[in-house]
Amino acid sequence: MDSRGASDGPRLEREAPAQREPARYERARCDDAASARGRGLGGLRVHAALLASLELALASAAAGLRCLAVVSSTHVRKVVPPTEARGQAPPLAGPPPGAAGVTIASEMPIRLSVNVNKVATLRNSRTPQGATQGLGQPSVIEATRVCIEAGAPGITVHPRADERHITAIDAREIAAALRATPHVEFNIEGDPRPDLVALALELRPTQLTLVPVQPGEITSAAGWRPDAAPELTRVIAKAHAVGTRVSVFVDPDLDAVKWAADLGADRIELFTEPFARAFATSVAAGRGSFAQYVAAAELAHTRGLGVNAGHDLDLDNLVLFRELPHLDEVSIGHALMARALFHGLASTVREYLAVLAGD
C-alpha cells in the first residue's frame, strides 16, 4: 500500500543513514549480485561451502531467471523457481542453458513491490493527463523502468476513482511495458468498483489486491471488516478466471484472516500502519504490535493463504518486520519515494532490497 511517510522513530540494529551509505549499502549499489536480489536467478546448485560465508548471492547472465541465495550471520534465504500453487507467484523463465534438472529446495525471498503512485502525484500536480497516454514529468514509465533495472521484482499501482495519481491510462502503459520483463510482477490494488474490476480483467495483472476505500480518505486507513463487501467473492472468482492472483487487505485480526480464506482469496495483505506507528514510539512497542502480525501470518499460512504486507513500512521498521513468518511480499511507495528524492530512485530500491535480504 502507499504509505504516508518514513518513520522518524527508533532504529533497530541499524546505523544512521549517513553512516550506512558508505559501508553498508555501497555493495547494494555496485555489486551485480546485490542488484539481482528480488529478481533472482533460477536453477543453480548451491555448494555447501557457501553456507559458511557471511553473505553471497549467486548471479547469472541469463535475464529473467530466478534463483537467489543470500547467506547472512542471522539467517539463510535460498530461492528456486516457484510452482504454480495457491499464494505463490507464477514461474518465470526456465533455468539457464545447461542447468536442466538442477534444483534446490529453498525458502522464498521477501519480494519488494514498488508502488509508483507518488510519481504520478508529482506529475499530475503540473500536467493534466490526456485521454490516450500519460503526459508530463516525471514519467511513471521511466520510474517503473528504473525500479526494475535496480532489481525490484514487482510494481504496484492504485488507480483511484478520482485519478489523483495513477490513471487507467498509466495502468495500461505499465502493463504493456512489463510484457518485456515477465519476471516482474504487476499488482493492481483498489476497491472493487466496476471500472477497477473491468481494468483488472482487461490487463490481467499478476495480482489484484482488494482494498476498502472510505469517502474522503487521503490514503488507506484500515483493512476490510470481516462482515463487509459480500461482492468480493464474485470479484475474486472473476480474477481467478483470467489467471490473476487475489490478495485481500486486512488488519492483523484473526477473524479477518479466516474471512479472507473463506472468500477464496489467495493471499492477505496485512495493514501495517499500526505496527509502524508503534515502532516509531519505541522498539519495545513495535515488538508488542509485531506479535499480532505474527499470529495473523501463522493463521493465514495454516489456511493456505500467502502473506503480503504494506503501509508505512520503511528502512528502519523493516529490520523487524522482515522477520514475519511466511512473509511473501511487501508493497512500499511513499517512504521509498520520499527517500529517493534525496538519494536517487535506483539507489533507494537497492537499499530496500538489501534490508529485505537481511543485510
Just list the catalytic residues: 158, 189, 311
Taking the C-alpha atoms of residue 172 and residue 185, their distance in angstroms, rounded to an integer, is 14
Taking the C-alpha atoms of residue 343 and residue 202, their distance in angstroms, rounded to an integer, is 36
Please answer whether residues 337 and 146 qualify as being in contact, where contact means their C-beta atoms are separated by less than 8 angstroms.
no
**Bridge partners of 332?**
114
**Bridge partners of 115?**
156
HSE-CB for 173 with a 13 A CA cutoff: 21
Please answer whether residues 67 and 96 qualify as being in contact, where contact means their C-beta atoms are separated by less than 8 angstroms.
no
Please answer whether residues 17 and 335 qualify as being in contact, where contact means their C-beta atoms are separated by less than 8 angstroms.
no
330 by DSSP, 3-state: which?
A: strand
Please answer whether residues 269 and 310 qualify as being in contact, where contact means their C-beta atoms are separated by less than 8 angstroms.
yes
